[in-house]
Structure 1
Amino acid sequence: MKLAAQTSRSKRSGTSAAGSVAESLQNMRMTHLMKSVGAKLFLIFFFCILFFVLTVGLTSYYKSKQVLQNKVADASEQTIIQAGSKLDLIYSTFEDLTMQMMLNEDLRATITNLRATGRDTYDYMNLNRLVNEKLNVYAFSNKSIKAVHLLTETGEPISSTANTMGNDSRAEKDWFKKIIEGNGQAVWLSTQEKGFTDGVLGNAQPTFALGRILKSPSTSQITGVLLIEIGVDTIGRETESISMGEGGSTIIVSDTNTYVYSPNQEQLGKESKLDVPEDAFKEGNGKLTSIKGDYQIVYYKSQVNGWNFIGYMPVNELVRDASVIFNLTLGMALGAMVIAVIIGYFIARMIGRPLVLLRNLMKEGEQGNLRVRMDVKSQDEIGQLSVSFNQMMEKITALVQQTNASAQEVLQTAADLSDASKRTAMSAKDISIATEEIANGASSLAVESERGNELTHNIAKQMKSVVEANVIMGTSAGEVQGSSKQGITYMSELIGKTNETESMTRSMVEKVDNLKESTRSIRKILDVLGNMTKQTNILSLNATIEAARAGAAGKGFMVVADEIRKLADQSRQSIAIVGQITEQIQKEIDETVQVLSQAYPIFQEQISSVKEADSIFKQVDTQMAGFIERLSEVTESISQLESSQSVLSDAMANVSAVAQQSSATSEEVASLSSEQLNVSTGLVKLSDKLEELSNSLKESLSKFQV
C-alpha cells in the first residue's frame, strides 16, 4: 500500500511537472534556441553535409582547373621553345656576320692603314671611304641591321654606316666596357631606347646590338671594336606571331633582367618587373607560376646569348572552361542544404525535446523542489537518464532529512563550546599583558647594555687607529726631514751649475758680437769682388768690339772675350748668392744677440730663486726636528689611554651578556603567554564560526520541500 501511494504521488507530481515544463518550454524556446542540444545537432548535421558536398565539388573544380592549366602551359612551352629556336638561328646569323668581318683580311688591312694615316690627309679620306663601303656591304646584306659602327679600343669613332656618330669617346659607356671585357667573343647588348648613337640615328628608334673586338687570328693584334645595331622589329615579328590568349603576351628579357623586346615600347631597355623569384629562369626552358599566382609563365633561355624568351598568360583565362564544374558544385550544395534542413529538424525534435524537459525539471530541483519526477516513456539512453534522475532525487530527499536532524545537534554543541572559549580567552589576555610588560623592561635593559658595549668597542678601535696614525706620522716626519736635507744638497749643486751657465751665456754673447764684426768684413770683400766683376764685363765688351773690327783675324779673340764675359756673369751671380747668405747670417746673429740679452736677466732671477729655495729647505729641516719630538710625547700618552680603555671594554661586555640573557628569558615567557592568548582567541572564533555555519545549514535545509 505504501509503495502504491508513493507511485501515485510520483505520477501526480510528474503530470503537474509536465504541464509546467510545457509552459516554460514555450516561453524559453526562442531565447535558448542556439544553446540547446537540438539546435547544435541540427547545425552539426547541416554543416557536415554541406561541408562534404562542397569539399567534393570544389576539389573536382580545382583539380580540373590545375589539369587544364598544366595542359595549356605544356602546349605553350613547346610553342615558346620552337619560337626560341628560330630566334637562336637569327642570333647565330648576326654572330656569323661579325665572325666574317673579323676574318676579312682586306677589311682589317684597310682599317689598320686608316688608323695609321693622319686625319687631315687625302689618304685618310680615301681609306675612310673604302672602310665605309665595306661596312655598308655587310649592313645592306641584312635588312634588320640599322647601323654598323667601328671604334678604336679606346672608344674613339673610326667609321659608321649611320649619318654621323659624333666625335665623343664611348670608353665610359657600359656597353663598350662589356665588349672590351669579352676579349674577342660576341657580346650581346640589351635594347637601348634611343639606340647606341645617342639619338642621331634616324628618328632615335630603339635597337639592340652585337659587339665584338676585331683582332688578327694569328697575331691577336686588335684592329678595332665592332658594334652592329639591330632593329627590335627583327625579333618582334617572331614574338608577335605567337598568341598567348586574351590578356597574355610574349617578351624577351636579357641576362641582366632588362627588356630586350616588349609590346609596350615604354618598357624597352628598362628593368623587368616580372612577379617571379630571382632564380626562376636558371634552367634552359620550363614553366612556372607568378608569386601571386595570377599568371602562368613559360620561357626558353637562348643558347646563343642567354636571353630569356618569355610568354605569360592570365590563369583565369586558362581555366575559364572549369567554371561549369564550379557552378554545378554550387547547385548541388544548395540542394544538399535543403535536404540537410529537413533531416536536421526531425533529429533535433526527436533528441532535443526530452532533454529540454529534463533540464526544466532539474531547474525546479535547483530551486528546492525535491518532489519533481520525470515521466519515462522510452528505453533509449534518454529514458535511462530519466530513470537515473528520479533515483537521484529520491536519495537527495533522504539525505536532506537526515542532515536537518544533525544540524540541530551541532547548533546546540557549538553554543556550549563558544561560552567556554570566551572565558578561557579572558584569562589568557590578562596573563599576556603582565608578561609583555616584564619582557619590555628586560629588552630595554639589554638594548642599553649592548649600546654601551658597542661604544666601548668603537672607542678602542679609534684609539688603535690614532696610535697607528701617530706611528705613521713619525715615520713620515723622519722621511720628510731626510728629504729636506737631500733637497739642501741638491740646491747647493744647482746654485753652482746656474753660476756656470751664467758665465757661459756671457761668453756666448761676446763671441756672437765678434762673429757679427766678421760678417761685416765679408760684406766689404763681396763689394770689392762685385766691382771687379763689373770691370771684367766692361773689358770683355771692349774686347768683343775690337775683335769685330779686326774681322776674320779677330774671331778667336772674340770667343775668348765671350767666355770671359760668361765667367764674369757667373762670378757676379755667385757673389750675389754669397751676399744673400751673408745677410741671412747677419740677421740670425742679430736675433741670437737679442735672445741672449733677454735670457741674461732671467738667469739672474733664477739664481735668486734658487738661493731663496735653499733657505726654505733649511728652515723646514729645523722645524721637522721639533715636530718629531712632540709627536713621540703624544704617542706615549695615547698608549696609556689604550690600556684604560681595554679594562672598560671587558666590564661592559659582562654587563651586556647578563642583560641579554635576562631579556631572552622574559621574551620566551611573553611568547608563551601570547601564544596561549592567540589559541584562546582562535578557539572563540572557531566556536562563533561553527555556530554561524550551523545556523546557515539550518536556513539552507529549510528551502527544500520533502
Structure 2
Amino acid sequence: MKSRSIKTKMLAIMISLVLIPSLLLGFISYRSSDKNMLSQYEMFGLAIGDEIARSTDAYLESYMDKVKFISGKEQVVNFNSGATEEEKKANGDMAKSYIQKFIKEFEVSSVVLSDMNGKAISINSEGKTNDINASEMDWFKNPVSDKKVDITDIYESSGKKFITVSGPIVKDGQTVGVVGIEIPSTHFQELFEKMDIGENGYPLLVDSKGSIAGSKFEGDFGREFVGYEQFADFEEEYKLYQDVYVNPDGVETEEIKVVTKLENTDWKLVTIIMLDDINSSVRNMMISILAVGIAVIIAGIIVSVLFSNSIIKPIKRIVHSVQKMAEGDLTEKVDVKNHDEIGILADSFNKMTDKLGKLIMDVKDVSAEVSDSAHVLAASSEETTASAEEIARTVEEIAHGASEQAADTERGVSLVTGLSMKLDDLNKVSADTLDSVENINATNRESTLVVSELRSKTEENNKSTHMIEEEIIALDADISQVGEILDAIDAIAEQTNLLALNASIEAARAGEAGKGFAVVAEEIRKLAEQSKGSSNDIKDIILSVQAKSGETVKAMGAVKERNEAQNSAVEKVGLSFDTISSLIDDITVKLESMGHSIESMNEDKENVVSAMESISSVSEETAAASEEVTASVEQQTLASDEVARSAESLNRLSEKLIQEINIFKV
C-alpha cells in the first residue's frame, strides 16, 4: 500500500480545519437565520410602526392646531351673529373671505363651517362654496357633544373619501357653531408612499370603525380592514401577530402585522411586513455566507499549500541528500535557509558530510600509500629471496669443494708414503690447489658482496615496514575519529528525535488545531531514525575497515618480527662469510707453505704429513661452516617467503580497503 506524503496529510488536515467549521457555520446560520431574521423584522416593524404612528399623530395634530386656530378667529366666531339679516349676511361674508384666505395660507383642501342647527357651507381651495346639511355628520355632532376638537372616521362625499378634523366655535362660553378642515384620503396616500417597509411591506391607517383611512394604495380607502376585530379593543401601545392574507386572486401571503395605537384618536396604525421579504433577506444572507465561506475555503487551501510547502520542501531536500549519502555521494549538500530546527538539522548534516568526506579522503590517501608500500615490500622480498637462493647455491658449491678437498687430503695421507716418488705430480696438484683456493677466495668475495647487498636490502625492507606500520597506526587513529563523528551524528539524531517527541506533545496539547503539527513531528522523528540508521550503516562499514586495519597492524607486526629474524640471519651469514674468508686466507698461506714444504719434502716427510693433516682439519671445518651458512641461507629464504606472503596479504587488504572507500563520492 502506497503511503501518503506529509504534504497530502497536512493539506487534508488544514482543508478539514477550514471546510468543516465553514459547513457547520453555514448549517447553523441556515437553521437560525429564519428565526433571527423574523425577530429582527419584528423589531424593525415595531420601530417603523412607532415612527409612522408618531408621524401620523404629528400630521393629524397639525390639523387639530389649525382647527383650534381658525375656530378662535373673530371673523369665524361672529360668522352667524347680527341683529338683522343684513348684518348676519355681512358677518357670514367676512367669515367666508377669511376662510378662503386661510385655505390659501395653510394650503388645506377645504373648510366646513356650520351653525348649531347643522346648516353648513363647504369652501374649497378654488373658492367655491356648497351648502350642506351637517346635522347628522360626525364632524358636526362630536365637537358639539364633546366640546373639543375631534377627528372623524373616513367618509365619502361627492364621490371622494375624506376625514375631517373639526372643533367647536365658542363665543362668550357658549358653542355657537362648528368649524372643520377636510383632509382628502389622497393626502395620506402621498404620506404613506414615502414610507418603505421592506420590499413589499406597507402601512395602513384604520379608523375606529375598522375602515382603512390611510394607505399607499388608492383602492384601499374606505375598505373594511379584514381582522380588525383582533385588535379593535386593545389598550396596549402596540400589538404584534402573524396572519395569512388572501388577495382577490386567491393567492395566500404570510404577513407580520404590527398594530400601534395613535395618541390623538382611536385609530390604529397597522404596519404590514411580508414574510417573502424576510425569506428574500434570508436567501441573500445565505448567498453572502456561502460566498464568504467559499472565499474562506479557497484562502484556507492557498494558505495550507503555502504553509505545507514551507515545511515539506526543506524536508524533501534533506531526505534526498540523505539518500545520496547512503549511496556513497558525500558531495551532496542540503540547501535549506530555514531558521528553525529543520535549518539546524540541514546545517549539521552539511557539516557532517564535510568532515566525513575529509576523513574518507585521508583514509583513501593512506590506503594508497599502504598499497604502494606493500608493493615495494613484496618486490624487496622477492629480491631478498633471489639473493638468498644465489647464496645457497654458492655455499653449496663451497661445501661440495670442501668435501672433495677433505677426501683428497685423506687420500694424500694414505698415499704419503709414495709421495716422494710423485713429487712432481704433487707440486702440480699443489699449484692447482692454490688456483682453486684463489677461485674460492674470489667466490667468497662475491658472496660477501651479495651478503652486504642483502643486508642493505634488509635495512630498506625494515624502513618500509616501519613506515607502513606508522601509516597503518595513523589510519587506525583517523578511523577512531570517524567513530567519534558517527557518535556525534547519533547524538544529533537522538536530539532530533527528542525535539520531534516534544513537538508531538505540544501538538497533542493544542488539540484539533495541532494535529497537523503532530503529523509533521512524527515525520521528523522518522527522518531522525532514518539518519540514525544511515549512521549505523556507516559505522558498520567503518568498524569493518577498522577491523581490517587492525589485522593489517597485526600482519605488519609479524612482518617486523620476521624482518628482525632476517636481520639476525643476515648478520650470521656475514659473520660466517668473514670466517670463510679468514679460513681461505689460512688455506692460501698453508698452500704456499705446502709448496715450500714439497720442495723440502724429501727432507722432512713428517712435516708434509702434518701439513696434510692440517689441511684435512681445515677442510672439515670449511665443510661444517658451509653447512651452517647453508642452514642460515635456508632460514633467510623462509623468512623472505614469509615477508612476501605478508606483503601480499597487506596488498590485498589495502586493495579491499580502497574498494570499500571508493563507494563514497567526495
Q: What's the TM-score, normalizing by structure 2?
A: 0.35
Structure showing greater radius of gyration is 2
Q: What's the TM-score, normalizing by structure 1?
A: 0.33
